[in-house]
Structure 1
């Protein structure tokens, strides 16, 4: 199968109290995962804060770098990876994503799942995800298997350590050239 398309996975660290807490435990440099179908990250999706000022209300979000949570944290660091996929993979991923878009109000943030990952114990609820679980779920449901474990056990560091992902950029989010051009 010809791999002539790409999907982009961004791992980030905003430096918020929540991310600092996770980082203290994981010792990983990034603790948030998002997925995009364009290298400019104009359409970026994840599970996170629905309102940038409220860390409690989380769920499925289309992340807006200039108006959303990232705009409040200009020192955010990130790493962006490219995953080469086929045209058919992109169609399947966008189909899965459309289910999230159509039903976004029904999805919740899976905070217990985050705790479950730390215990290596899957904690799943219907319509409930955390960021890396969501990105892994999009790939998994599209037939892309990057790991031999359930999406609910995938961490941002699992993406960082996967040899099928090609690093495109690492540094401050707002120094990433396609984003700098839009400032």
Structure 2
């Protein structure tokens, strides 16, 4: 039976993301993996506390109360990927490890620099956002590219033909999010 997972690419407009964008020339610089189209069950590597851009690591993202809430003008694109039920089971099993050990995971800032040099820089328990999403997919047997997860950028998702675009625009204008805000 086919199921769907969702890839959210976003740009909050923060100083850090503006710096990345200036270099990459890509419209989005953050990647997240979600298991529902309402983005309730969504994970990535990013800010652990919305007010502190320096403390990063594994996060269960919450659009309504987390970092995104501080940046209401966030732009995004949302893709869906058809996967099997078994793929989802594998991904969620892997996520359980991240969730149980979330305090041990760090943001791989050097890995971001490595991508710019096309040189993977990997550390145990350390990821940047698109590396994390690519790693979860890769370890679950889903191969979208012929490159290491440590070299995958948010723009690689945007250019991936296996992903189907379902929304592009302001995150808070995305209909399932708008409905949640009205509750």
- Please report the TM-score for the alignment, with normalisation by the length of structure 2: 0.98
Instruction: Show the counterpart of 1:143.
Output: 141
Number of residue pairs matched? Answer: 181
2:138 & 2:107 partners in 1: Cα distance? 19
Structure 1 residues 113-161: Cα deviation after superposition (integer angstroms, max 9, x where no partner): 0000000000000000000000000000000000000000000000000
Instruction: Show the counterpart of 1:72.
Output: 70
Q: Does 1:36 align with 2:51?
A: no
1:31 & 1:129 partners in 2: Cα distance? 14
Instruction: Show the counterpart of 1:58.
Output: 56
Give the Å deviation of 1:18: 0.1
1:136 & 1:22 partners in 2: Cα distance? 19
Give the Å deviation of 1:70: 0.4
1:66 & 1:88 partners in 2: Cα distance? 30
| Unaligned residue ranges in structure 2 (runs of 5+) | none
2:94 & 2:48 partners in 1: Cα distance? 20
1:164-175 paired onto structure 2 within 5 Å: 164-175=162-173
1:81 & 1:119 partners in 2: Cα distance? 27
Cα RMSD, aligned residues only: 0.5
1:158 & 1:30 partners in 2: Cα distance? 10
Give the Å deviation of 1:81: 0.2
Q: SS of the counterpart of 1:46? A: strand
1:148 & 1:123 partners in 2: Cα distance? 17
Give the Å deviation of 1:56: 0.2
| Unaligned residue ranges in structure 1 (runs of 5+) | none
Instruction: Show the counterpart of 2:15.
Output: 17
- Please report the TM-score for the alignment, with normalisation by the length of structure 1: 0.98
Q: SS of the counterpart of 2:131? A: helix
Instruction: Show the counterpart of 1:120.
Output: 118
1:152 & 1:122 partners in 2: Cα distance? 5
Instruction: Show the counterpart of 2:176.
Output: 178
